[in-house]
Amino acid sequence: MVKYDIMRVAMYYSNRDIRIEEMPKPKIGVGELLIRVEASGICGSDVMEWYRINRTPLVLGHEIAGTVEEAGEGVKIYKKGDRVACAHHVPCGRCHYCLSGHETVCDTLCKTNFDPGGFCEYLRLPKINVDYGVLPLPDSVSFEEATFIEPLACVIRGQRLAGMKQGLSILAVGSGIAGLLHIHLAKVMGAGRIISTDILEYRLNAAKKLGADISINAREYSAQMLRSQNQGRLADLVIVSTGSPSAIEQALESVEHGGTILFFAPTDKDRKIPFPFNELFWRTEISLTSSYAGSPSDYKEALDLIASKKLDVSSMLTHRLSLSETGLGFKFVAEAQESIKIIIYPQK
């Protein structure tokens, strides 16, 4: 009988049903790496139950940092013990989309992934991920800080596609972890006035600590209130980090002529969003855009910002949990109350 090394995983069946199970430790092949996962962040997308409920059970987790446990034949750059962060999705670098600067809609990117996922003790990193998605970590960057590289890379890309530049007034609609990263990055990049909204006082306070000049409860917010706080003008850039239809409606009412709305989060499945076409577009020169994931260059920029301490990502970390507590972490994220960033430590 063949004997396999066994590892623990947090198996996802639903947001309320995550079980600690055992499965064989992955075997690596030529050009691959076996990663010992030291820290793995829970992303808001991990609790989008509608997106994956028909594919369960799954081992989720894509915001990871760890150490190289084993390097496959042909791997020359990395060795056992190296501290790394890894991208779960990587582009091919050769297709029409990659060559035109839209690497994150590359067909290859959506087909690449970890084996099995970040909420486990060890994962296999396929050769293409090794080639395009490994970032050696400097000693100054902790494993928990490194879990912010992936979400920050997504935020960097979104702001670049939306034309972020110094002096722009920003309205951040939604102040969960994505919104807070947008606020913090915009502040560091020299944004003008930054105004945030959310329905939770806890998150509104966090937004002010991370760079928002003023935070407004979304239930009380109005475009006129925005004008009163922004020298009579609406926002040059509206960043929507929630899929709530009411939040999207507020965003459409809040963008200044010549401005841009960045839609950074999906809505519920099959949701249709109506909008007043003439009022919104005719003679306003408003741009609507979206972004998805991050490219290799976005990951590198994210690591550089974290390593230089220009961004204080550690201040966003509210919970550190063991692998056996993954279900509790998902509960916190799904309920979206007094938590911001939750990190799972699979080796504990």
Whether residues 23 and 97 share a domain: the answer is yes
Domain shared by 169 and 299, yes or no: no
Is the pLDDT at 322 greater than 80? The verdict is yes
Q: Are residues 167 and 245 in the same domain?
A: yes
Give residue 263's domain range.
Answer: 163-290
My answer on whether 187 and 305 are in the same domain is no
Q: Is 241 exposed, middle or buried (0-12, 13-18, 19+ CB in 10 A)?
A: buried
Task: Determine, yes or no, domain membership for 20.
Answer: yes
Instruction: Give the mean pLDDT of the chain.
Output: 96
Q: Are residues 132 and 31 in the same domain?
A: yes
Here the CATH number for the domain that contains residue 200 is: 3.40.50.720
- Interval 264-296: pLDDT, tens: 999 988 899 888 889 888 899 999 999 999 999
Q: Examine the pLDDT at 1 and tell me if it is beyond 50.
A: no
Co-location of 279 and 187 in the same domain: yes
Instruction: Mark whether 276 and 298 lie in a shared domain.
Output: no
CA 43 to chain centre: 6
What digits encode the pLDDT tens for the residues 219-264?
Answer: 999 999 999 999 999 999 999 999 999 999 999 999 999 999 999 9
- Rounded CA gap, 328 and 334, in Å? 10
- How far apart CA 319 and CA 337 sit, in angstroms, is 12
Give the pLDDT confidence of 116-168 residue by residue, as tens digits.
Answer: 999 999 999 999 999 999 999 999 999 999 999 999 999 999 999 999 999 99
Count of domains for the chain = 2
Residues 286 and 298 placed together within one structural domain of the fold: no
Q: Do 225 and 107 share a domain, yes or no?
A: no
Q: What digits encode the pLDDT tens for the residues 74-113?
A: 999 999 999 999 999 999 999 999 999 999 999 999 999 9
Instruction: Give the per-residue pLDDT at 4.
Output: 63
Asked whether residue 175 is domain-assigned, the answer is yes
Nearest to 69 by CA among 91, 53, 84: 84
Give me the CATH number covering residue 63. Answer: 3.90.180.10
DSSP H or E run through 119: none
Specify whether 134 is located in the same domain as 23: yes
SS3 83: strand
Q: Are residues 65 and 43 in the same domain?
A: yes
Q: Are the CB atoms for 91 and 98 separated by under 8 Å? A: yes
Asked if residue 3 has pLDDT above 60, the reply is no
174: left (phi over 0), alpha (psi -120 to 50) or beta: left
Do residues 219 and 282 share a domain?
A: yes
Check: CB of residue 151 under 8 Å from CB of residue 41. Answer: yes
Residue type at 160? R
